[in-house]
Amino acid sequence: MKGSLIIVGFFVAGIICGLTGLLSINDFDIDVSFYALCALMFFVGISVGSDIDTLKGLRGLDMRLLFLPLFTIAGTLIACFLLSMLLPQRSPSDCMAVGAGFGYYSLSSIFITEYRGPELGTVALLSNIAREIITLLGAPLLLKYFGRLAPISAGGATTMDTTLPIITQTSGKAFVILSIYHGFVVDFSVPLLVTLFCSV
């Protein structure tokens, strides 16, 4: 929660700089965002690669539970596709790109800004922050109506870090490894799926 507040803080600080004319994106001769994105993705890759060993705890798990990330991804994408029918100003690929952030607001908004411009990037940032907050606040309710896997599914890509504590509390300790595995897989799908939907 503190992390998302700091993120929003930086975003707002940027808006203020842009609004007051203190700083303009055209001030830079090179495409700073693109190079920073490349550096970010390299480091994200390193942290994923060095973490692969944690997945060894999965062996004792019910095999069918390993499909949970696919259900999470399919559920969100189908829902976003249906929603785009109701939002006249957004194409299906727009909605699905935003949904494919799965709560990973920093990465997805950065990617979408790079490929589709700052307007959809802003929607992605706000939407994916909202997904994390919904999971943090709504986990007990989701558990009650949708069963023990629902808080994990709702958390999307965040279930290996920010929403892990609340999932442990609501779904139970038995779901910790599943939650980490789920976050790991969905996390990895974010850059792939967002790029895919932005290029359609």
Distance CA(134)–CA(1), nearest Å, equals 11
State the Cα angle at 192 between 184 and 7, rounded to 5°. Answer: 65
Binding status of residue 95 toward another protein by CB under 8 A: yes
* Residue span binding another protein (CB under 8 A) among the ranges 94-102, 162-170, 172-180: 94-102
Residue type, 64: R
Quick one: 1 or 52, whose CB is closer to another protein?
Answer: 52
Least spacing, CB of residue 43 vs another protein, in Å: 5
* Residue span binding another protein (CB under 8 A) among the ranges 59-67, 162-170, 172-180: 59-67
Least spacing, CB of residue 99 vs another protein, in Å: 5
Quick one: 39 or 174, whose CB is closer to another protein?
Answer: 39
3-state SS assignment for residue 185: helix
Helices in 87-175 by DSSP H: which ranges? Answer: 92-99, 105-116, 118-146, 150-155, 164-171
Show the binding pattern over residues 123-162: x = contacts another protein (CB under 8 A), - = does not.
xxxxxx-xx--xx--x---x--xxxxxx-xxx-x------
Distance CA(82)–CA(90), nearest Å, equals 12
Contact criterion met (CB below 8 Å) for 99 and 81: no
Show the binding pattern over residues 62-81: x = contacts another protein (CB under 8 A), - = does not.
x-xx-xx--xxxxxxxxxx-
Quick one: 50 or 173, whose CB is closer to another protein?
Answer: 50
What are the b/e assignments for 121-136, b being 16+ CB within 10 Å?
A: bebbbebbbebbeebb
Q: Which of residues 161-190 bind another protein (CB under 8 A)?
A: none
